[in-house]
Every structure is written in structure tokens, then in C-alpha cells.
Amino acid sequence: MSPETLAQTSPTIAPVPVPTSEFDRAEFDRYVMSTYARFPLTLARGAGCRVWDTDGREYLDFVAGIATCTLGHAHPVMVEAVHQQIQTLHHVSNLYYTPQQGELAQWLVEHSCADRAFFCNSGAEANEGAIKLARKYAHTVLGIQSPIIITAHASFHGRTLATITATGQPKYQKNFDPLMPGFYYVPYNDLTAIESAIALLDSNEPQVAAIMLEALQGEGGVRPGDQSYFQRIREICTEKGILLILDEVQVGMGRTGQYWGYENLGIEPDIFTSAKGLGGGIPIGALLCKSFCDVFQPGDHASTFGGNPFACAVGLAVCRTLEESRLLENVQQRGEQLRAGLRSIAERYPHQVAEVRGWGLINGLVLNADAEITSSQVVGAAIEAGVLLVPAGLKVVRFVPPLIVSAAEIDQALAAVEKAFAVLSK
């Protein structure tokens, strides 16, 4: 089936009325800790690239659970995988072998540069695993006693203590110190800065154990990596024998039009991490590595839920659908269509919009630094116009629809964004 056909025939979107519940947002806030600034919207149902709120109003979902719902909502393949596995075997722990974990690892290895996989439940947890693996490699192979991992300004690697430390954004670290030792930050896409940092850190004795980067910075403002920068970093890591870790949590699993973000840069990492799109919305994360740096031994790392048959069966269904339905082609074509449409909106609103950037179906509409509007205001106006979008910082509006999105849905979203700008410009 061509991606075009698949997108048009993907889950039937029947405008079934959603029962209006007695849901009260104030009651919700009374019981749930307020760690999120939520938009005033209560969602009840989804199908394909659409969701409905509790009043039955329909929205195009160009957030997809923040680049997570690879196949959209209620995709028949996911529904089938969930049903099948929950009635067969859903969880037994890693004390035993389960076929689904092995099959998912095999798919990932056969469709990437990695040789081995470890499964966990989220992006932060996958990155924690990568940090531990790099530290053990430093101690046992490189002979470095206090290993340092270089990461980038404006990066995002998760919300655990190690991953907020790896994240080069002070706003995520404030009030959570003492942070973890062993991290050093450099500006992204700046070769001179990283070369100077390595020279400085290694001036007395080798300390740099790894470089950890996103192929495209998602949360940091949809900022694609430069090919020449990443290719030189690859060379530096190889020359020094240190590890190149890529965080593929947001950009992996087809989102950029390639299976993995690093394929856009013409390089291979030694270690990379995945989560978000891997389970299509069912929690799963993975740490993948080449065999030369697979220094973990029994007892080194573990996760109770990690790689259970339920999550792996769904992950496998998502991976196979990505491949068999040739969704990468759809991502490339729809991505081009979306960027072209956003660029013509940018031309009509030159005072507000500075730039459109991204790869495949992860794209950012960058607002002018001196424009009065913020990304949250654009997202608010877009919700009113019927499309869900997500900010990536104060001035970037992110578009990350399900990878099954159709040409008609892209056009509909563009019309809604145009409407949002018209309202905001009044």
C-alpha cells in the first residue's frame, strides 16, 4: 500500500459523539500535583490524526503526544497488538526470556547501526542507561577515573537527576542541586567550542569519556544538527577512542523521514537511545549500542517493567507498520508539504515569523525574537482554530503530527494555523 493510500485509509474517523462527562478541571488540580502548565482542554477520544474533547469538539492532533503517537490514535494494528498480548502474557520480569523482547531487539538492530538493545520505560531512563554505559566504558576500558560527558547548550535529555544535569538548560536544573558531577556543556553546532572544550578538559589527563548530543534539538527549538559538525565530532570520537552518544528519543523511529536522526547527518553513533515513537504511545524506551562498547554484565543495570512482552509486542507492531506501510516516504512527502505551507504563511506574516525549520515531520515555526506574540499564544489560537500544536521554547511552535498524516490533513492544519495568525494579528 502506498503511503498516500495508507494515510487516506488509516483508521476510520467517525465523528462519534463523546459523552460529556462531569469532568471538573479544578477538581483535577486539587488531586494532581501541578508539575505541568496545561492548556484548558480536556481530551476524551482519538482516532487517526484527530482527537475529541469532552464537549465533542474535534481537533487535528499535530502534537501526537509530543512526537510519540507514531501511528496516531486507535490504529487497528496497535489495537490488535494490545488485545493479543494482554490476553497472552503481559509481564513476567527479566528473570526469564520472552520472545517479544528478542524480536523487538532484532528489528531495532536490523534497522539501525546498533548490535544490542536494553529496554526500559522512557526517554530519561534510556539516557540514564547510556550515561551509565559510557561511565562503565570509561572506567573499565579507557582507564578514566572521573569521566566527563560533554553535552550541548539547549539540549534536552529528560527529568531524572542525571538527565537534567546532562540537559544544557539551567531552567530545568534550578533548585534541584546538587547536580550530578561529570558533565560539561558546549554550544550546539559549534565545532571550535567543542574542540577547545576537549583540549581544556583533557589538558592534564584524559577525562572526556563521551559526547552526547541530539541529531536535531527538539525541546531546544527544533534545531537541526549540521552535517559537517557531526561528521567532525564522529572523527574526533574515533580518533580519541571516546563514545558518541546520540539521544534519538524525539527524532528516532521515522520522525525525520529516516529511521534514525543520525541518518540525516551521514554518521553512526556508538550508543543511541529511543523512546517516544517506539511504542506509539505505550511506554517503552531503549538503549542501543555497538557490541564493542557493550560492557554491561548481569547485575549492572535493570528495570522491572523494561522490555515486558506487552510493551515489546506493541513496539514491534509499530516498527513493522513503519516498515511495511513505507511510512518513511509519507513522512518525507508530508514534511515537504508542511514546510512549504508554513513558509508561505511566514511570507504573509513577516513581522511575526522569522523562519521555518526541521526534518520530515518534526518542524518548527520560529517567531521573530522581537515579535510580541509567544509560541504559547500561537498554540492557544491554533487550538481555537481546531489544531493542536506544541511550543518548543518561548518562540518556536512545533509541528509533530502522527507519521500517518495525510495530505488533506496537512492542508487542513495549515488553514487552521493561517486562521490563528489572522486572529493574533488583529
Ligand X SMILES: Cc1ncc(COP(=O)(O)O)c(C=O)c1O
Q: Is residue 156 within 8 Å of residue 220, measured between CB atoms? A: yes
| Rounded CA separation 325/228 (Å) | 32
Select which of 119, 276, 310, 399 is catalytic: 276
| 268-327 residues near ligand X, rule: CB under 6 A | 275
DSSP 153: B
Minimum distance, C-beta of residue 8 to ligand X, in the bound complex (Å): 30
Minimum distance, C-beta of residue 273 to ligand X, in the bound complex (Å): 7
Of 11, 123, 147, 360, the residue at the interface with ligand X (CB under 6 A) is 123
| Rounded CA separation 385/60 (Å) | 10
Minimum distance, C-beta of residue 63 to ligand X, in the bound complex (Å): 12
Q: Which stretch binds ligand X (CB under 6 A): 52-60, 154-162, 185-193, 223-231?
A: 154-162
| Rounded CA separation 311/289 (Å) | 20
Instruction: Map grid coordinates 531524572 to a residue.
Output: 160
Q: Report the residue closest to ligand X, judged by CB.
A: 123
Known catalytic residue at 276:
yes
Note whether 249 binds ligand X by CB under 6 A.
yes
Instruction: Map grid coordinates 542501543 to a residue.
Output: 288
Of 61, 128, 247, 270, the residue at the interface with ligand X (CB under 6 A) is 247
Minimum distance, C-beta of residue 22 to ligand X, in the bound complex (Å): 31
Closest CA to 362 of 339, 380, 395: 339
| 155-214 residues near ligand X, rule: CB under 6 A | 156-158, 214
| Rounded CA separation 85/66 (Å) | 25
| Rounded CA separation 397/410 (Å) | 16
**Number of chain residues interacting with ligand X (CB under 6 A):** 14
24 burial level (CB within 10 Å; 0-12, 13-18, 19+) = exposed
Q: Which stretch binds ligand X (CB under 6 A): 99-107, 243-251, 286-294, 351-359?
A: 243-251
Minimum distance, C-beta of residue 291 to ligand X, in the bound complex (Å): 24
Select which of 156, 272, 296, 399 is catalytic: 156
Q: Is residue 377 within 8 Å of residue 424, measured between CB atoms? A: yes
Minimum distance, C-beta of residue 281 to ligand X, in the bound complex (Å): 12
Rank residues 284 and 416 by Cβ distance to ligand X and give the closer one.
284
* CA dihedral of 385, 34, 172, 355, whole degrees rounded to 10: 0
**Three cell numbers at 311?**
510493551
| Rounded CA separation 230/360 (Å) | 19
Rank residues 71 and 381 by Cβ distance to ligand X and give the closer one.
71
Of 122, 308, 330, 332, the residue at the interface with ligand X (CB under 6 A) is 122
Interaction site with ligand X (CB under 6 A): 122-124, 127, 156-158, 214, 218-219, 247, 249-250, 275
- The catalytic residue positions are 156, 247, 276
